[in-house]
Chains A and B, each alone.
Chain A
Amino acid sequence: MTIPTAPAPAPLPVQPPTGCPFDPPAAFDALRTEQPISKISLPDGSWAWLATRYHDIRAILGDTRFSSDTTLHGYPLSGMTGGGNTQNRGFIRRDPPEHTRLRRMVTREFMVKRVEALRPEIQRITDELCDAMERDGGPVDLVEALALPVPSLVISLLLGVPYDDHEVFQRLTGTLLSRTVADEEREAARIELRDYLDRLVTAKEAAPGDDILGRLITEQQQTGEITHDEVAAFAALLLIAGHETTANMIGLSALTLMRDPESAERLRRDPGLIRGAVEELLRFHSIIRNGPRRVATTDIEIDGHLIRAGEGVVAAVPSANRDEAVFPDADRLDITRPNAQHHVAFGYGIHQCLGQALARVELQVVLATLLRRFPAMRPAVPVDEIPFRTDMAIYGCHALPVTW
Chain B
Amino acid sequence: MKITLDADKCCAAGQCVLVAPEVFDQRDEDGIVVLLDAEPPAGQHDAVREAAAICPAAVIEVHE
Contact = CB atoms under 8 A, between A and B. Distances in A.
Given A104-B12, A357-B18, A352 B31 contact: no
Interface string B8-46: 010111110111010001111111100000000000000
A357 B30 contact: no
A108 B11 contact: no
Given A112-B18, A341-B19, A348-B56, A353 B31 contact: no
Contact of B14 (A62, A112, A350): A112
Interface of B: 9, 11-15, 17-19, 21, 25-32, 50, 53-54, 56-58
Nearest to A358: B14
Contacts of A352: 11, 13, 56-57
B54 A62 contact: no
Nearest to A275: B18
B53 to A, nearest CB: 7
A100 B8 CA distance: 10
A278 B40 CA distance: 28
Interface of A: 61-62, 100, 103-104, 107-108, 110-113, 341-342, 346-354, 356-357, 360
B54 A107 contact: no
Main secondary structure of the interface of B (DSSP, over half): loop
A107 B56 contact: no
List of 10 A-B pairs having minimum Cβ-Cβ separation, nearest first: A111-B31, A107-B12, A107-B31, A352-B56, A112-B14, A111-B26, A112-B17, A350-B11, A108-B31, A352-B13
B57 A350 contact: yes
A107 B32 contact: yes
Contacts of A103: 11-12
Contacts of A108: 12, 26-31
A104 B30 contact: yes
28 contacts: A62-B56, A62-B57, A103-B11, A103-B12, A107-B12, A107-B30, A107-B31, A108-B29, A108-B30, A110-B12, A110-B31, A111-B12, A112-B26, A113-B17, A113-B25, A341-B15, A341-B19, A341-B50, A346-B13, A346-B56, A349-B56, A350-B11, A350-B56, A350-B57, A353-B13, A356-B13, A356-B14, A357-B14
